[in-house]
Amino acid sequence: MKIFAWITDHLIYFVLGVGIVSFLFPGPGSLFGWIVTPVLALMVLSISMTINVGDLIRVSKYPLVIVWSVILQFVVMALFSILLGRIFLSPMTAMNTGQVLLGSLPADISAPLMISIVEGDTALGIAMLVTAMVLTPFVLPNILTLFGGITLSVPTRYLEVELVGIIIIPLILGIVLNYYSANVREKRDTWPGLAALCYLLLLFVVVSSNVGTIVSLKEFAFVIIGVEILLNLFGYGLAYLSKRIFKQSRATFLSLLFITSTKEFGIAPAAVSTMELKNTVTIPSVFYAVIQMISAPVVVKIVKYWDSRTHEEPI
């Protein structure tokens, strides 16, 4: 159990190490793409075991915050992503389409883990994530058409499996275990460490599986890296701006910080498979996946450092 806590406290170093090893030696990780779904479900289960029924009741009192998070995820981030695509990727039609799609995606499933590690409002973060995932089949095609002039079929089956199998069922199971098991409640601080191990395994697979794509772009890869870093930083900036404007609490701000800045990158490949599009469409999501999986632990480290220096609200 102490090992789990130690991994959580030093997550950024493990992330950098795993990222480097995965990039230099992609062979082993690229063989384990099949584990992504069960590992994601285990991650959600682990974080859900830190949540109780009272947390859900409390979160229901903040509908406007959840609505605001949806607007930031689907609208504001989409508009900025479209702008970046037109500036840097316009000559490459398929990749530009991928950039528009990326900006219109909901938050990533790993966001609640980061919220939990920095002691944000994990229940609120999960509520933001679930709400966005439920709305995705209805909102995503309209956002793409309205802002990007793109008509894409949403991979409904993929979204249903992800929502029910990876999020809803593990979430309910985790809350039930928290309610009925005193042992689960007593070890509340342990479960984010288990989720962190899942995160590292996912990073290993994601980087390993996409090294070929990244390397094949040669010098242009640096352009895409720059574009996705800008989009990622914009997401963090939106959360900070929301905190300043609406005077949000520390817990709410930290929830919005990781919900706004992450993107569920698995939807893009599913859309490509569903519509038989060019694989180039997935490239922005591939790069963003790696960037967000590295930047999120970095931001966690920054938040913790700020807390240790100020002993009050961070940033």
Mind listing the pLDDT tens digit for each residue in 7-40? 898 999 999 999 999 999 998 887 888 899 999 9
Mean pLDDT, range 101-114, rounded to an integer: 96
Q: In this predicted structure, what is the pLDDT of residue 253? A: 97
Q: Is the pLDDT of residue 276 over 70?
A: no
Distance of CA 93 to the CA centre of its chain: 26
Mean pLDDT, range 245-250, rounded to an integer: 94
As a whole number, the mean pLDDT across the chain is 91
Mean pLDDT, range 168-173, rounded to an integer: 96
Q: CB-based burial of residue 269 (10 Å sphere; 0-12 exposed, 13-18 middle, 19+ buried)?
A: middle
Q: Is the pLDDT of residue 313 over 60?
A: no
Q: In this predicted structure, what is the pLDDT of residue 11? A: 93
Secondary structure (H, E, C), the chain: CHHHHHHHHCHHHHHHHHHHHHHHCCHHHHCCHHHHHHHHHHHHHHHHCCCCHHHHHHHCCCHHHHHHHHHHHHHHHHHHHHHHHHHHCCCCHHHHHHHHHHHCCCCCCCHHHHHHHCCCCHHHHHHHHHHHHHHHHHHHHHHHHHHHCCCCCCCHHHHHHHHHHHHHHHHHHHHHHHHHCHHHHHCCCCHHHHHHHHHHHHHHHHHHHHHHHHHHCCCHHHHHHHHHHHHHHHHHHHHHHHHHHHCCCHHHHHHHHHHHHCCCCCHHHHHHHHHCCCHHHHHHHHHHHHHHHHHHHHHHHHHHHHHHHHCCCCC
Mean pLDDT, range 132-152, rounded to an integer: 88
